[in-house]
Structure 1
Amino acid sequence: MSLSRRPSRFTLSTFSACTLALLLAAPVARAQVPPPQVPTLDLSEEASRTVSNDMAAAQAYVEMSDRDPAALARKVNQRSTEVLALLKPYSQVKVQSAGISTYPVYARNGGQIESWRMRNTLSLESRDIAALSEAVGKLQALAAVDQLQLRPSPETFRKARDEAMVDALKAVEARAAIAGNALGKKVRLRSVSIGDSGGRPPVMYRRAPMAMAAAEAAPAPIEAGETQVSVTVSGSFELQ
C-alpha cells in the first residue's frame, strides 16, 4: 500500500508575492516613525505706553418715590425732561438713555407694598472734558451724578496699543537672539501670540444731593490724568 503525498500550495510565485508585499510595506513602516523633537525656546515680553485721558464719561440719574406709580412716572419724566433741556446747549456732550427701572418699596414688616421707586439713568460722554465738567456741575441741581470715568479715546488707545505691540515684538525677538547666541544656536520663530494687558483707566465716584441750589452748582473738579496701555507678546522659537 503506497501513501500519496499531497502537493504543497506554497509555490515560488507565492513566495515572490509575499516578498514583494514585505518590500512595499517597509517604506510605510519607516514613514510612521515620528520625526525627532526640535528644541524650542518660549519667551514673553511686555511693553507699555502712557497716554493722557482725553475722554470723560459720566452717569447721572433722576430717582423719586411715590405711592402712586402713575404719579411717580409723571414726576420722573418731567424732571428728566428738565435735565435734557439743561444739557441741550452742550453740543459737545453726547447724551443717551442708560435705562429706566421701577421697583416696589415694601413696609418694614416685609408685607404690603408701601410705595414705588423709579430711576431714570442717563449716560454722558465727551472728548471736551471742560464742557462735561461744566455740564455735570449744573446738572447736580436736578439729578445725582453717580459715576465719573476718565479714559483714553478709542483712537488714542489704539495708537498706544499698536506702538507698545511693536516694542514688545522687537523685545522678544532680541531676547531670543541673545539666548540663541548663548546656546550656540540659531533661532527661528515658530509662533507668536499677542495680548493686551493694559491697566484700567482711573475711575472717580461722586455723589451729589438731588436738590442742590442752582447758585451752588459749579464745574465739577476733574483731573484728566493718564492711563498705562500695556501689551504682552509671547513667542516660541526653534533652536537650529
Structure 2
Amino acid sequence: MRHSCVLSCVLALSFMSASVLADEPRYNQVSLRAEVERSVSHDTMRVTLYAEDQHQDPATVAERITRQLNDGLKTARGTSGVTVSSGNRSSYPVYSEDGKSIVAWRERGEIILEGSDFAALSKLTGQLLGSLSLANMDFSLSTASQRSTEDELIKEAVDAFRSRADIATRALGGNTYKIVNLNLNTQFAPPPVFFRGAAKMSMAADREMSTPSVEGGQADVTVSADGVIEVTLP
C-alpha cells in the first residue's frame, strides 16, 4: 500500500513538473518574414464569341442562332490545338414601348475557344469574327504552371527565411537558433490584360476581319514565409 502511494506521488510530481516546464515563458524569440515573387507569362488564352439576333418568331431566331453557332464550331474544330466548347445561350422577349405586348424575341449564344498557341487562336478568332462577335478575350496561367512556380518559390522563400534568421541571430549575439514555427502562404495576382485590334475589327466594313494582335501579359506569383525563431545565446 505504501509502495502504491509513493509511486502515485512520484507520477503526480512528474506530471506537475512537465506542466510547469510547458508553461514557462520562452525567451529570445524573434518573428521574421521573408517574401519572394516572380512574374510568369500567361500560357493560356480563352476567347468567347457570340451570335445575337432577334425576330418576331422565336423559332426563326433560334434557327438562325443555331446555324451561326454550328458554322463557327465547325470552323473552330478544324484548328489544331484549340479546345472548343459551347457557352451560354439565352432567349428573352422584346416588349413594345408601352410594355404591354411582345414584339420580338432576342436570342444570344456563345462558343468558347481555349488554347496555349496564341498565334493560332488569334488567327482563328479573326476568321470567326466575320460571322460572330467578340464578347471577351482572357489570359491566364495554367494550373500546372502555377503549381510548378509555387513549388520553386517555396524553396526560395524558406532559404530567404533562413538567411534572415542567420542575420537576426548574429545581431543578437547568438550562436544558433531553432525554428519555433513557420507558415508558408502563396498568392496569385493576375494583372488586367488588354488586346489590340478591337477598334479596327469592329470598324471593318467588308466583313473580312483582321487578326487581332494580342499580348498575354504576366501574372505575379508570391510566396511568403512567416515564422518565429528562438535564438540561443552564449
TM-score (normalizing by structure 2):
0.80
Percent of matched pairs sharing the same residue? 29
| Distance in structure 1 (CA, Å) of the matches to 2:9 and 2:142 | 70
Cα shift at 1:52: 2.7
Distance 2:105 2:135 in 1: 21
Question: Which structure has the greater CA radius of gyration?
Answer: 1
Per the TM alignment, residue 194 of structure 1 is displaced from its structure 2 partner at its CA by: 2.1
Determine the structure 2 residue equivalent to 1:36.
Answer: 24
In structure 2, C-alpha distance between the alignment counterparts of 1:24 and 1:153, rounded to whole Å:
61
Deviation at 1:211, TM superposition (A): 9.2
Q: Identify which of 135, 142, 157 aligns with 2:124.
A: 135
Measured in 2, the distance between the counterparts of 1:127 and 1:56 equals 6
8 Å contact 1:95–1:122 — kept in the other structure?
yes
Q: Gaps (5+ residues) in structure 2?
A: none
- Alpha carbons of structure 1 residues 52 and 26: separation in structure 2 relative to 1, 3 Å: closer
- Give the C-alpha shift of residue 180 in structure 1: 1.9
SS of the aligned residue for 1:162 comes to helix
Q: Distance in 1 between matches of 2:143 and 2:17?
A: 56
Letter of the 2:25 partner, please give it.
Answer: Q
Q: How many residues align?
A: 224
Deviates more, 1:39-48 or 1:149-158: 149-158
Secondary structure class of the residue paired with 2:33: strand
Verify the 8 A CA contact 1:42 1:237 in the aligned structure 2: yes
1:173-192 pair list within 5 angstroms: 173-185=162-174, 186-192=176-182
Superposed displacement of residue 184, structure 1: 2.8
Task: Go from structure 1 to structure 2 and tell me whether the alpha carbon gap of 1:29 and 1:175 turns closer, same or farther (over 3 Å shift).
Answer: closer
Alpha-carbon shift at residue 226 of structure 1 (Å)? 3.2
Following the alignment from structure 2 to structure 1, what is the Cα–Cα distance between the partners of residues 132 and 204? 8
Report the alpha carbon displacement of residue 212 of structure 1 after superposing the two structures with TM: 6.0
Structure 1 residue 116, shift from structure 2 partner: 2.4
- State how far apart, in whole Å, the 2-side matches of 1:222 and 1:146 are: 15
Give the structure 1 partner of residue 210 of structure 2. Answer: 218
Equivalence for 1:3: none
Q: Quote the Cα distance in structure 1 between the aligned partners of 2:177 and 2:93.
A: 67
What does 1:47-58 align with in structure 2 at a 5 Å threshold? 47-58=36-47
Distance 1:103 1:154 in 2: 37
Shift of the 112–172 alpha-carbon distance from structure 1 to 2, 3 Å rule, reads farther
CA distance in 1, matches of 2:9, 2:137: 79
**Residue 203 of structure 1 corresponds to which residue in structure 2?**
193
Residue 103 of structure 2 aligns with which residue? Answer: 114
Q: Which 5+ residue runs of structure 1 have no aligned equivalent? A: 1-15
Aligned to 2:231: 239
